[in-house]
Structure 1
Amino acid sequence: MKDLTTGGEAKLIFRFAIPMVIGNLFQQMYNIVDTVIVGKFLGTEALAAVGASFPIFYTLIAFVIGIGSGATIIVSQYFGARNYEQVQKAISTIFLFMLGAAIILSIIGISFSDRIFHLIGVGDDVMPFATSYFNIYMIGMIGFFGFNGTSSILRGLGDSKTPMVLMALSTFLNIGLDLLFILVFDCGIAGAAWATVIAQGAAFIGAIFYLNQKDHIIRFRLKEWHFDRLLFYQSLRIGLPTGFQQTFVALGMMTLIRIINNFDTTTLAAYTAASRIDALASMPAMTLSSALSSFVGQNLGAGRSDRIKKGVWATLKMAWTISLIVLIIVLIWGQELMQLFNNDVEVIEIGKEYLLIVSSFYIVFSSMFVIHGTLRGAGDTLVPMFITLVSLWLIRIPFAWLFSQRFGQEGIWWSIPSGWLVGLIASWFYYKAGYWKHKSVVKRKIDTDDHPFSQNISES
């Protein structure tokens, strides 16, 4: 476990984030490998089906992931305060919650998949591929929640290397199974889904085995776990805003898919491929945001709020540098990146257009995420939720519909950075106000200089 309350802020965050970046890179490879192999060997309709499935899956899991993020913040703050008994209680409580949620969501997703795909306007040519892929994917919910929950909590405790190693092994297994099921056994799109389910399950089993062999705070022994209502209430207080935020973001993704489906299957296929590249490109900024959350949580828990401002600026500089590098890569090799996913000329051109527009605003996106990471690490999740909902539902979605009427699919792509820009402006003003410094679960005496209206905060 890593103590983030002492040492140089920039070096600590960078070293803590590197394994997370690598681990999340492998995690993105799950979706990318599925998309590349499906797009290359199963065709445009199957590629579109993968793209239509993801926002539905994300909508179902988003609320639970949000609640889990609240528990992770609590874990990091109690760990920073050296209260290990509360750390263990929080961990067992959230895992019992996730286990039940995984079973319920699997049943709901499989039962209503047909109706949901019809609701978002998936065409008849894509429907059989979409339902087959999605229903199998939902079978693996326990493995998905189990491994991702373990990884998040380990990061809250300062361990970012173990999730990286397990994710790397799982990703290589997924790639091998994808090739085996699709190219050798000719299982079609169902093979891609089974490959992911098996690989995620193997990662979770590996995590259980590793942790039970070591002297860790986390131990996967159900008979020793109990559900602590007070800690779950604290998780809800912090996690509910993030849960609602993630849910409405996921619903926004579904709405965006509905708007895209007003065009043709080629546009949906292009968006599927380009959004995979976009997710990979934006992943470093999101990972830095998560690393900063753990840093902020531990330092607030330890009463070291003086270190947070330096950590925020160091993280912003790293995020800006990475965003510029990614922009250059997209500008030079955007077409070649799209060719990895599909051979259709129209798909490649539409996807390249998406990448050029969206990547030009990665600095805006990364800045917004870093600030949100600061707020969440402090336990202040309500305001980021409202900011996200405003930028999504009052800016991005209406703009996507209006711009698509006038400019075609290109108008949809321009709506994305429009939402980011509004979100960044609102987040920055709230960060400067300083109220987030008083949201910590671990309460400590607050100095006069730490008051939101003090000169000290106004300069932060």
Structure 2
Amino acid sequence: MSVKKDFSEGPLFKNILIFSLPLIFTNLLQTFFNMTDIAVLGRFASSSSVGSVGSTTILVFLCTGILIGFGSGVNVIVAFFIGAKNEKDICETVHTSAIVCLVAGFLVCAAGIIFSRSVLNLMSTKPVLIEGAVLYFRIYMVGLPALAFYNFGNGILSAEGDTKSPLIFLFISGIFNVVLDLLLVIHFKMDIAGVAIASVVALYVSAFLVFIKLHRKTDSLALRFSKLKVNKSKLFRLLKIAIPAGLQNAIFGFANLFIQIGVNSFDASMVVANSAASNSDPLVYNIMSAFYVACSTFIGQNYGAEKKSRVLKSYFISLACSFCFALFLGILLFIFGRNFISIFISDSAIIELGMRRLSIMAFSYCISAFMDCTIAASRGLGQTSVPTVIVILGSCVFRIAWIFSVFAYFKTIESLYLLFAFSWTITAVAEIFYFARLYKQKFSVSALK
């Protein structure tokens, strides 16, 4: 078996940075291309179009988060078997995961299309925005099978240390996205439908490129039609990690639906301002998530290789990097927030409304590093069920309770946005306690290296 990188050996800090940098650029490209949709609509369509697409953001995150969870499961399992140097298990995991991820993609796609209008109505989406929101969301859902396959392939490639290929694939698909955005919105006047179609095409381009990469491989990571079958033991192992991981992401999405309902209780200008300002979220989160992938991958390989001290060091290095990056980006967003929001909307009054969100979130992002990186560390050790329960309590139940108590009492947009920092803090403390216990449990049975 030809494995590009063995993370159970060598300097951790250097390797984590080398591993994460291509992921950061990949995620930045993804963020840039997603922002292009909003920016093109804001400049060449109308503010209501921006509001319509922005109204679906949390719902899109809920659906895509489930599929990202499956990709995370693939990453952890493949990384573990690479660390254990077991070619047969790697091959069976690859082909089982391909089937499972595609099935998940089609199921989420169908559910999204069927229930889109009902859910958007439950979210109290403004009447002036809902038709555009339903149109965008339904078209975007068509791309979810492709997204599911891309996440599957990305999980495999990152598990073996190849984070450059996804960067190249995303760059190519992103070019398609931008060109089609401009062509369909400016030339063909397709407005919301135009940016949605552009996104779907880009998703299928990236999925196709991942398929070609995996199909051309000659080692145990190679994808072959003749070997596509479900291995029961690998299926259960994948679902054990993927379902809780996907559920964690879906829980955030579900809880954030209530936040969107809170935003929708204000006037249309605030809804548009929130849509524009919230573009900072994926910018920061996606950079931080590169270190979470590194955390799971490095811990997964070192856990498979039974390297106790390297597991803990991988966690602390990943946590420090994600925290520092988030703090740095938050400071930049606080200083240049108005310039950032003006990329998506030109109305000065709406920009000022957007700053009410950005001024709070800018210094809250770094708190989430303690929560998400610790969840990634537990996932690297093969445990996701308990972290999921903690997330349900700390980031779902708590947020909903906050909305119906603190926000209901103060009725200000600031009281709504502050729940992010408080929920992240509470969840992080609980996740850290659990990981510390899990680490001791995993490495107390036998004397490991």
Answer yes or no: same fold by TM over 0.5: yes
Paired residue for 2:204? 201
Q: What's the TM-score, normalizing by structure 1? A: 0.91
Matches of 2:67 and 2:320, distance apart in 1: 32
AA aligned to 2:246 is: G
Instruction: Tell me by how many angstroms 1:407 deviates.
Output: 4.3
What residue number does 2:384 align with?
381
Counterpart check, 1:427 vs 2:435: no
Structure 1 residue 231, shift from structure 2 partner:
0.7
* Contact 2:180 2:198 (8 Å CA) reproduced: yes
Deviation at 1:168, TM superposition (A): 1.4
Aligned to 2:32: 29
1:294-348, CA deviations, whole angstroms, 9 ceiling, x for partnerless residues? 0000000011122122222222332232123212211210111011111122321
Superposed, 1:63-74 pairs within 5 Å as 63-74=66-77
Range that drifts further, 281-290 or 82-91: 281-290
The within-5 A match list for 1:36-75 is 36-75=39-78
Cα deviation, 1:133-167, whole Å, max 9, x if unaligned, reads 11111111221111122112211222111111111
- Unpaired stretches in structure 2, ≥5 consecutive residues: none
Structure 1 SS opposite 2:293 = helix
The gaps in structure 1 that reach 5 residues or longer are 451-460
Cα distance in 2 for residues equivalent to 1:267 and 1:118: 18
Q: Which one-letter code corresponds to 2:446 in the other structure?
A: D
| Structure 1 segment 294-333 matched on structure 2, within 5 A | 294-333=297-336
Counterpart secondary structure, 2:10: coil
- Report whether the alignment pairs 1:79 with 2:82: yes
- Say whether 1:418 aligns with 2:417: no
Matched residue, 2:160: 157
Check conservation: 1:4, 1:12, Cα contact below 8 A. yes
Summarize the Cα distance change of 1:317–1:245 in structure 2 as closer, same or farther, 3 Å threshold.
closer
Q: Give distance in 1, aligned partners of 2:281 and 2:109.
A: 28
Matched with 1:259 is: 262
How many Å separate the matches in 1 of 2:79 and 2:366? 28
* Structure 2 counterparts to residues 380-399 of structure 1, below 5 A: 380-399=383-402
- Cα contact 1:68–1:149 (8 A) shared by 2: yes
How far residue 438 of structure 1 moved from its aligned partner, in angstroms, is 4.7
1:353 counterpart letter in structure 2 = R
Runs of 4+ deviating beyond 4 Å: none
Whether the 8 Å CA contact 2:368–2:428 is kept in 1: the answer is yes
Q: Distance in 2 between matches of 1:429 and 1:104?
A: 35
- Give the letter for the 2:386 counterpart: V
2:228 is aligned, of 222, 225, 228, to 225
Distance (whole Å) between structure 2 residues aligned to residue 286 and residue 294 of structure 1: 12
Deviation digits for residues 58-90 of structure 1 (CA, Å, limit 9, x no counterpart): 333433432442232111101110101111111
1:124 is matched with 127
Superposed displacement of residue 11, structure 1: 0.7
Deviation, 1:449, is: 8.2
- How many residue pairs get aligned? The number is 445
**1:393 alignment partner AA:** C
Alpha-carbon contact 1:293-1:373 (below 8 Å) kept: yes
User: Is the 2:153–2:210 Cα contact (8 Å) retained in structure 1?
Assistant: yes
Letter in structure 2 aligned against 1:121: S
State the secondary structure of the residue aligned to 1:125. helix
Distance in 2 of aligned mates of 1:271 and 1:408: 13
Aligned to 1:455: none
Deviation at 1:13, TM superposition (A): 0.7
- Percent identical among aligned pairs is 27
Q: Which amino acid aligns with 2:186?
A: L
Matched residue type, 2:42: G
**Separation in structure 2 between the aligned mates of residue 244 and residue 392 of structure 1, nearest angstrom:** 12
Secondary structure of 2:197's aligned partner: helix
- In the alignment, the residues of structure 2 paired with residue 246 and residue 255 of structure 1 have an alpha-carbon distance, to the nearest angstrom, of 15
